Structure 1
């Protein structure tokens, strides 16, 4: 059954998206303060020919389409020296202007790598390979200050910064592994100090994966607090097909907010609107057996996922559940914008979890109250 099309929204949407009527069956995020989208891959996608459309088929700018649907924050990752030339300072500065022009706020996601950083890989940038100890801390601090200082001088300061990406096992391996908390804390505090100095008033987030793992979250943040690591926000990735149940996420968010007296944030989530890849690259979530029970791979199932995870975050007592970032809603399948930045022929394994369908049209799950 097709849902009725969403009409293109006017400029009033930018001022007060919460009062707009939503299309039937779309996601509701329980009035979250942060209704975020990770747009890290958008510049490269656009350069390679990606097209984005409103639900009625009208072509538009992806940032504006998402903003008119209610998104009010954007998250952009930063690599040190990527092989394809993307995810560095020039593209970040350009995106920061676009984000600000739409009345949105910016979260900068530092990977401290030349490539993807996650729990299974935290590779040093090539330029830092020989650095250790104080020299490595200084390089991290200089990079952090350069990025955030450049944003501030441009007049588009970041509102929040992640010091590392999914750093359950630490970062800048082997130096910053979480098996050596003394060195990891030194690296984290070097980044935090540089960020606060370069961009006064910025909020600092520390980001783990495994958002449903309360034991792991406690272990990691107990160590960070014990070693005097300064932070404002606990950020967690939570993908329901990998990281546990929504009930486990709820337990962890409630506990973390109470135990550490910090705000909490789902820094990454997503869900498929269909199965079946648009390009020749297999999708990461490609089989019915991978889906979360009760959430079909349909536009309605994707919207229901966003509604329900939003309700979980909003349930954190004291208003400490800040919100959600949807990961890469505009990473659609276009040749040249694949997973491997060293291989232009590589494909995209994520296009069935974007918030634009295979006809490039906005999906119901992007509509936030």
Structure 2
């Protein structure tokens, strides 16, 4: 169970995770600046293959079958940003056979000339640009972080200068065209490090950080306002995280003073064996709260044969980003949506097109997810209401459907009695509705005293059933009752399963909550 993994990880990392020593600013229920309830999430597409596919004769049509430019079609779907990868000196045919499994893949026209062409094309349409520097001649990822052939004779120390010079060169070439990327990834999926073996995260974290900082400094030297992104893979998979994520970021940010503006992740339920959206949201919360960093999903995608499922996945991701405190969720990028399994030698299946002709594709309804802006705590999704103090979730005792059933905390196990929607009453207040029973959070007897128990009840419009979501200065939320002015918490600040939910003063430890998007 996902929750069991989470609890084991929390026990192992102990106070380092959400312990008292990780928060330096005390919560303040009057600090309402942490979340503006407005969205500035970028909707992106990685289009590294596009020019190469077009050169092979691939064309794209709109929903009416009329041929059109692929980027314009993506923009019509709501895509407002592109992700462009750069290789140092890729093969002349822009294909690569992976030595570990012998499969051949397209690289895309991702040399410097190709990057400049694609970036200009996007900029002409008013789209934001993310540049991804792989520091390799081919894909860099957790399995491959190969040194470019031209750099093969460099020493470990010289490589740091090579990183700087190459980064500065690419950025300068873009700047000459008045293109300043909004983001630059220094390295791609760097769990294992970069420029192996010298920049291994396992054996020489300090050297790896030096390379990353060298790239950071080069980006800022050309474009100070560009945000530098640190990109890790598998952050929706709790088998890799929490321990590995915590270890990596503690080493990078705190031990070796790594420089970055955004922490990004890849999230592919198709590859990790299922959609653990709660795990993904938990990991994003951890980054936003612990390190006060912006977070994005810079790679995602779903089966081309299941556009409805992929649409749902994208909406979950968007709403998860929107729910993060302090507007820390900043973007989601679909990896190679213009692809179709028949267009690539390795039959890549996670594009977002359907084949409508011999070499003609149409973007599927999956990308319609980008055409709808998310609302703050949207009713489009249910949420796990997760207590910071105990690590347990808000639950209706016994899975009851009855009025006046007690609300408790219990270790999360994906029960519908642990899933809630936030339905707006007005600009300030929500009713909080249980997915299983359809009843709302209420205070027993309309009590206004501290310690009064929380129950569920049919909605009747009473102020005791209305709740204000109050951000805190340490990037969590408090849930304030309109009638009493007190806050949702756990009796005695208990960490035990079954402990009753009550209303308390804001100074109690158990009045802080996270909202995790659920399936």
**TM tier, smaller:** 0.7 to 0.9
- TM-score w.r.t. structure 2 length? 0.57
Question: Runs of 4+ in structure 1 displaced over 6 angstroms?
Answer: none
Query: What corresponds to 1:190 in structure 2?
Result: 214
1:275-299 CA-to-partner distances (Å, cap 9, x unmatched) read: xxxxxxxxxxxxxxxxxxxxxxx22
Q: Secondary structure at 1:116's aligned position in 2? A: coil
Confirm or deny that 1:328 pairs with 2:336. Answer: yes
Query: What corresponds to 2:278 in structure 1?
Result: 247
Aligned 1:29-108 pairs, distance under 5 A? 31=39, 33-83=41-91, 84=93, 86-108=109-131
- TM-score w.r.t. structure 1 length? 0.80
5+ residue gaps, structure 2: 1-37, 95-108, 373-519
Give distance in 2, aligned partners of 1:46 and 1:333: 15
Would you say the 8 A contact 2:230–2:260 is kept in 1?
yes
Would you say the 8 A contact 2:86–2:134 is kept in 1?
yes
Q: Indicate which of 207, 228, 243 corresponds to 1:215.
A: 243
Query: What corresponds to 1:21 in structure 2?
Result: none
Q: Secondary structure at 1:361's aligned position in 2? A: strand
Confirm or deny that 1:123 pairs with 2:146. Answer: yes
Query: What corresponds to 1:204 in structure 2?
Result: 228
Q: Secondary structure at 2:82's aligned position in 1? A: strand
Q: Secondary structure at 1:236's aligned position in 2? A: strand
Query: What corresponds to 2:174 in structure 1?
Result: 151
Deviation at 1:127, TM superposition (A): 0.6
Confirm or deny that 1:262 pairs with 2:293. Answer: yes
Give distance in 2, aligned partners of 1:39 and 1:255: 30
Query: What corresponds to 2:487 in structure 1?
Result: none
Deviation at 1:333, TM superposition (A): 4.9
Give distance in 1, aligned partners of 2:117 and 2:270: 34
Query: What corresponds to 1:358 in structure 2?
Result: 355
Query: What corresponds to 2:450 in structure 1?
Result: none
Deviation at 1:365, TM superposition (A): 1.4
Give distance in 2, aligned partners of 1:81 and 1:332: 26
Q: Secondary structure at 1:92's aligned position in 2? A: helix
Would you say the 8 A contact 2:252–2:258 is kept in 1?
yes
Confirm or deny that 1:238 pairs with 2:281. Answer: no
1:312-351 CA-to-partner distances (Å, cap 9, x unmatched) read: 222211110112000000123566xx4xxxxxxxx1432x
Q: Secondary structure at 1:131's aligned position in 2? A: coil
1:246-280 CA-to-partner distances (Å, cap 9, x unmatched) read: 11101000011111111000010000131xxxxxx
Q: Secondary structure at 2:129's aligned position in 1? A: strand
Query: What corresponds to 1:7 in structure 2?
Result: none
Q: Indicate which of 123, 136, 139 corresponds to 1:113.
A: 136
Query: What corresponds to 1:14 in structure 2?
Result: none
Q: Secondary structure at 2:355's aligned position in 1? A: coil
Identify which range, 77-86 or 140-149, moves more after superposition: 77-86
Give distance in 2, aligned partners of 1:299 and 1:108: 27
Flag the structure with higher helix content: 1
1:162-183 CA-to-partner distances (Å, cap 9, x unmatched) read: 0000000101000000021111
Q: Secondary structure at 1:357's aligned position in 2? A: strand
> Structure 2 vs 1, CA of residues 42 and 113 (structure 1 numbering), >3 Å: closer, same or farther?
same
Give distance in 1, aligned partners of 2:327 and 2:76: 25
Query: What corresponds to 1:133 in structure 2?
Result: 156
Give distance in 2, aligned partners of 1:262 and 1:355: 30
Would you say the 8 A contact 1:49–1:334 is kept in 2?
no
Give distance in 1, aligned partners of 2:224 and 2:286: 29
Query: What corresponds to 2:309 in structure 1?
Result: 301
Flag the structure with higher strand content: 2
1:132-154 CA-to-partner distances (Å, cap 9, x unmatched) read: 22211111111111111110111
Would you say the 8 A contact 2:341–2:351 is kept in 1?
no
Give distance in 2, aligned partners of 1:240 and 1:302: 10
> Structure 2 vs 1, CA of residues 31 and 365 (structure 1 numbering), >3 Å: closer, same or farther?
farther
Give distance in 2, aligned partners of 1:200 and 1:91: 24
Would you say the 8 A contact 1:52–1:356 is kept in 2?
no
Larger Rg computed on CA atoms: 2
Would you say the 8 A contact 1:266–1:324 is kept in 2?
yes
Query: What corresponds to 1:343 in structure 2?
Result: none
Q: Indicate which of 172, 192, 199 corresponds to 1:176.
A: 199
